Amino acid sequence: MDRYSEITNKNQREIVLLKAFPCAWGKCSFCDYILDNSNFEDEINKVNFEVLENITGKYKVLEVINSGSCFELPKDTLARIKEIIKEKKIEKLFLESHWAYKNRIQEMRDYFEIPITFKIGVETFDYDFRNGYLNKNAKFKTVEELKEYFDSPCIMVGIKGQTKEMIDRDMEIVLNNFDHATINVFVNNTSSVKRDGELVNWFANKYKHLVDNPNIEVLFNNTDFGVGD
């Protein structure tokens, strides 16, 4: 499992994939990456401290991800990240959280004392597909509500059951409302959710211009950021 990488094309930054306690929700129908979670705090910190040693601060920007929300990282790991931010003169952080922690987002912004781009797994702005089929439990009703807390939605495309209209609407919302977003093309995993190859081809063709959009990061494989397995 690669846990450290550099993103060198858009929004250059270092990225670390850390271990964490179990995702508090843990029930999204498409997710099998919570297998990386652990209940053993010492083991989690040991892995994380080693991974964090790789950070050089060369881009002054760091992204920290785990299989869940940043609020599930142990406090000693958070403290080490904060030390490294100071040591390596990092000026900006990317973090990710589930909607369930929306009332604690500001707490994390205050803790790190540098600007944070807070990502959230939205998957789709279609309320029913998101909370029904995908079982995301992110029950915001409007884009404005989401933007009160979060800066950057992660959208998933290419799932069987999704429609072209849904994806068109998601792209329109993302492009017109956010300074940054990530589009994840769904890759089959051990969950029962399946990739729709025809939909992926349609998306890749219709939205190929996004590759040149500096604010939109399109991941055709979930290891495109260089971390994971």
Of 84, 87, 91, 88, the residue nearest 113 (C-alpha): 91
Q: Is 68 in the site for ligand SF4 (CB under 6 A)?
A: yes
Contact mark string toward ligand SF4, 142..181, x via CB under 6 A: ----------------------------------------
Q: Are 20 and 47 in contact (CB under 8 A)?
A: no
User: What span, in angstroms and rounded, lies between the C-alpha atoms of 194 and 207?
Assistant: 21
User: What span, in angstroms and rounded, lies between the C-alpha atoms of 123 and 156?
Assistant: 5
Cα 39 from chain centroid?
Answer: 22
Stretch that binds ligand SF4, among 7-15, 21-29, 42-50, 101-109 (CB under 6 A): 21-29
Instruction: Using CB under 6 A, count the residues that bind ligand SF4.
Output: 11
Among 16, 20, 23, 84, binds ligand SF4 (CB under 6 A): 23
Of 80-109, binders to ligand SF4 (CB under 6 A) are 98
Neighbouring-strand partners of residue 154: 121, 182
CB of 189 to ligand SF4, least distance (A): 11
Of 121, 126, 132, 133, the residue nearest 97 (C-alpha): 121
DSSP state of 22: P
Q: Is 67 in the site for ligand SF4 (CB under 6 A)?
A: yes
Among 25, 125, 150, 207, binds ligand SF4 (CB under 6 A): 25
| Residues lying near ligand SF4 in the complex (CB under 6 A) | 23, 25-28, 31, 34, 67-68, 98, 121
